[in-house]
Structure 1
Amino acid sequence: MMPRTELLKDILADLRMAASFVTILPVASSKPATDGAIARATWALPVAGLVVGLAGALVYKVASRFGLTPSLAALLALAATALITGALHEDGLADTADGLGGGRTRERKLEIMRDSRIGTYGVCALILTFGLRWSALATIANPWAVTLALCAAHAAARAGVPAFMSLVPPARPDGLSASAGQPPGRSVAIAFTLGILALTLALGPGKALAGLILLSLAGLMLARLAIRQIGGQTGDILGAFEQLGEIVILLVAAAFQMGR
């Protein structure tokens, strides 16, 4: 049995690795990113997502205190989350849209997804993701409700990433996703549990169930599309999955807010 101090060190190392994997925070793990270390640390992605969500919520709260409208506060909150992640997931979404929408062959699609330039599909995808999330946050409006929605969205969107990586094979032998490796079942289970916990505590059982169902459906559709078109998933596909998750959860939170 692993000593408690060693277990704590491993947990902290995984948390730092997960945070450095999806944010630009200077928290690089002391654990070498080899031999599947990144894959094992994916259980901590929802925790890293919670940090991102709290950052956006803090900006929204401050903006509201200064008298800005919900629309402006929401825009600043989205800017904060994009800044803290280095727009990593937005970049993945744009590349996915360009590759899956623009290429005719598998090889060409993968080539487009590796191209740093952005095309029409990518621009449209970015407009949609920012527009939908901005509208949802502005609709929710109340700073506390926005905090809960952002925390739930960012945690749950990343909670499904390990399962997606485990169930959908890498589309190519190199690249971010392939180098990270396949998350073990334990990491998938912990991440999934943390995601459900975040959804339930933040939104309540009803919204959590609706969000979980819709997020699962979105993931299944993306997985099917990726397998059919490029043979599996890439780092860009994972970024697109995260963005879809954010959109779904925020829209669920906004829809229930309007129904009150």
Structure 2
Amino acid sequence: MKHLVLALQFLTRLPLPPVKADAEDFAAAMRWFPVAGLVVGAAAALPWWLLEGRDAWLGALAGLVGWVAITGALHLDGLGDVADGAGAAHGGRHRLSAVMADPHVGSFAVVVIVLQLLAKLVLLHALSPAQVWALVAVPALARIAPIGWTLFLPALHEGLGSRFRPGVTTLHLALWSLAALGVALALAPALLAGFLAAALWGRWLLTRLGGISGDGHGAGIELVETALLIALVLAP
């Protein structure tokens, strides 16, 4: 239970009581990221479902607000940092990492974050009420991916990209992947697109950055979520 609380404290803005934890406990919290994702999914899907019947755009906006509020825009920050690094760096990996570490927000970050929010808004508008449970599952499935990135990508530096590594194994990834497969087959086979999106992002990180960092995790979660929404909207 401690590890689940830590995962919720890290990934959401729920008002939870503090718990005593060491580095080992914090690392093990990653095993529960998908469960925390269900909370995020509920926070997005409930207002969307309640208001979608009155007006599709109103429902989409309510869902997006719930999505951002429950996470505190945590992953959007990582997406912005990666966008600044990829857009402004022309001197190789070291330059890219230096730009990502800069606390200032550049124009690339602003543009990409705005596009990400607009994409989610439009995609939420395009969903049908029958897909509400699939929407709940989207953030949960996207938070399985960091387990794989942690296991198979080298850490760029000491930080969030490395602190979780001792807490997860290939068994955790296999079990959550099987759960994702079952959810996709039960709710919407289009959700299987998450596996491809996670693999492509991991490949991009390895090629451009050389490994994983906290920003890489955050950006990847955002992009996998969007990929899953696109798959749901485009599925026949």
Question: Would you say same fold, with TM above 0.5?
Answer: yes
Tell me the CA shift for residue 133 of structure 1.
Answer: 1.7
- What is the distance in 2 between the residues matched to 1:195 and 1:116? 35
Partner of 2:114: 127
Q: Which runs of 4+ in 1 moved over 4 A?
A: none
- What is the distance in 2 between the residues matched to 1:58 and 1:51? 11
Cα displacement string for residues 185-217 of structure 1 (whole angstroms, at most 9, x for unaligned residues): 2322233233333333332xx32xxx32x3233
Cα displacement string for residues 8-50 of structure 1 (whole angstroms, at most 9, x for unaligned residues): xxxx112111111211223366351313x33323221111111
- What is the distance in 2 between the residues matched to 1:155 and 1:126? 21
Partner of 1:79: 65
1:30 aligns with 2:19: yes
Partner of 1:102: 88
- What is the distance in 1 between the residues matched to 2:177 and 2:194? 12
Partner of 1:51: 39
Partner of 1:242: 221
Partner of 2:233: 254
- What is the distance in 2 between the residues matched to 1:29 and 1:199? 34
* 1:42/1:191 contact within 8 Å kept: no
Cα distance change, pair 48–128 in 1 and its aligned pair in 2 (3 A): same
* 2:150/2:162 contact within 8 Å kept: no
Partner of 1:220: 199
- What is the distance in 2 between the residues matched to 1:112 and 1:26? 33
Secondary structure of the corresponding residue to residue 240 of structure 1: helix
Secondary structure of the corresponding residue to residue 30 of structure 1: coil
Unaligned runs of 5+ in 2: none
Partner of 2:170: 185
Q: How many residues align?
A: 234
* 1:49/1:154 contact within 8 Å kept: yes
Cα distance change, pair 57–186 in 1 and its aligned pair in 2 (3 A): same
Cα displacement string for residues 114-170 of structure 1 (whole angstroms, at most 9, x for unaligned residues): 22322222122212222222212111142x42x223212111100121011111111
Percent identity over paired residues = 29
Cα distance change, pair 215–242 in 1 and its aligned pair in 2 (3 A): same
* 1:149/1:249 contact within 8 Å kept: no
- What is the distance in 2 between the residues matched to 1:28 and 1:184? 28
Secondary structure of the corresponding residue to residue 143 of structure 2: helix
- What is the distance in 2 between the residues matched to 1:191 and 1:28? 27
